[in-house]
C-alpha cells in the first residue's frame, strides 16, 4: 500500500468507499461530490466548488457555533461540494477530518501505535501537569463521557498499550483515535482541579 494519500484515497473509492464520518462521497466520471450523509437524496443544496470551501463548511455547526472538535457528530447540513479530482478531494477531506486519511493509511501499514492515556498525561507540563494526578476511576468516567461526543474509534486504553480492534463498515473509512486529543487533556485538567485534593 502506498503512503501517497491521494492515491490511497482514489484506490479506496475505486474499491467502493463512499463514506467518511458524516460525509458521503458521490463519485462520477468527471468529478467528486461531497454532501452531509443525511443530504444524499436532498435537492436544493447550496453549491460549493473549491476545496478550500471545506474549511468554512467544517468550522461551524447548524447554529453557527464554532466546532473545536472536527470529529464531533454535528457537521452542518444543506451543502454540496463538487471537486474536479482526487487531489482536491483529499485536501477538502483534510479540512473536514484533519489527518484521518493519513492515520488510516498508517494503521493499514501497521505503523499506527496507540498511546495509552497515562503516557499522554505523563508528558504534560505547565498548567496541564496536574492531569497526571487524575485517578483511574475519574479518568474512565471522563473518557466515557467526553469521548461519547466524537465519531472516532478509540484505540488507546488508560494504561495498557494493547490496541482496541478497529470496526470497519463496508464502504466507510473509519476515523481512528490513537492518542488522547488536546481537548481531552484539557478536560482532564478541569476534572482534577475540581477535586478537593487539587485545591
Torsion of CA 99, 105, 110, 112, to 10 degrees: 10
Q: Which residues of the chain have pLDDT under 50?
A: 198-199
User: What was the pLDDT predicted at 195?
Assistant: 77
Q: What is the reported pLDDT for 18?
A: 97
- State in Å, rounded, how far the first CA of the chain is from the last one: 52
The helix (H) or strand (E) run that includes residue 26 is strand 23-27
Cα 99 to Cα 94, 145, 146, 158, distances in angstroms: 6, 24, 21, 23
Three-state DSSP at 77 gives: coil
SS (H, E, C) 41-62: CCCCCEEECCCCHHHHHHHECC
Q: What global pTM score does this model have?
A: 0.90
Contact indicator for 23, 31 with CB cutoff of 8 Å? no
Summarize pLDDT for 111-125 with one digit per residue, the tens. 999 999 999 999 999
Residue 77: partners with Cβ closer than 8 Å, 6 or more residues away? 36, 38, 39, 62
Amino acid at each position: 500500500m502506498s503512503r501517497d494519500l491521494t492515491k490511497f484515497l482514489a484506490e479506496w473509492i475505486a474499491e467502493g468507499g463512499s463514506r467518511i464520518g458524516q460525509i458521503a462521497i458521490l463519485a462520477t466520471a468527471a468529478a467528486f461530490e461531497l454532501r452531509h450523509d443525511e443530504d444524499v437524496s436532498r435537492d436544493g443544496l447550496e453549491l460549493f466548488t473549491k476545496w478550500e470551501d471545506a474549511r468554512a463548511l467544517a468550522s461551524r455547526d447548524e447554529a453557527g457555533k464554532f466546532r473545536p472538535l472536527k470529529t464531533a457528530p454535528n457537521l452542518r447540513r444543506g451543502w454540496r461540494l463538487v471537486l474536479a479530482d482526487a487531489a482536491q478531494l483529499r485536501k477538502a477531506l483534510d479540512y473536514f477530518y484533519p489527518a484521518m486519511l493519513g492515520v488510516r493509511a498508517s494503521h493499514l501499514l501497521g505503523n499506527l501505535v496507540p498511546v495509552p492515556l497515562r503516557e499522554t498525561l505523563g508528558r504534560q507540563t505547565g498548567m496541564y501537569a496536574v492531569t497526571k494526578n487524575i485517578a483511574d476511576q475519574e479518568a474512565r468516567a471522563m473518557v466515557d463521557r467526553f469521548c461519547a461526543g466524537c465519531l472516532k474509534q478509540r484505540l488507546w486504553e488508560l494504561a495498557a498499550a494493547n490496541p482496541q480492534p478497529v470496526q470497519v463498515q463496508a464502504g466507510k473509512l473509519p476515523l481512528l483515535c490513537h492518542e488522547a486529543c488536546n481537548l481531552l487533556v484539557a478536560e482532564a485538567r478541569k476534572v482534577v482541579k475540581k477535586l478537593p485534593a487539587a485545591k
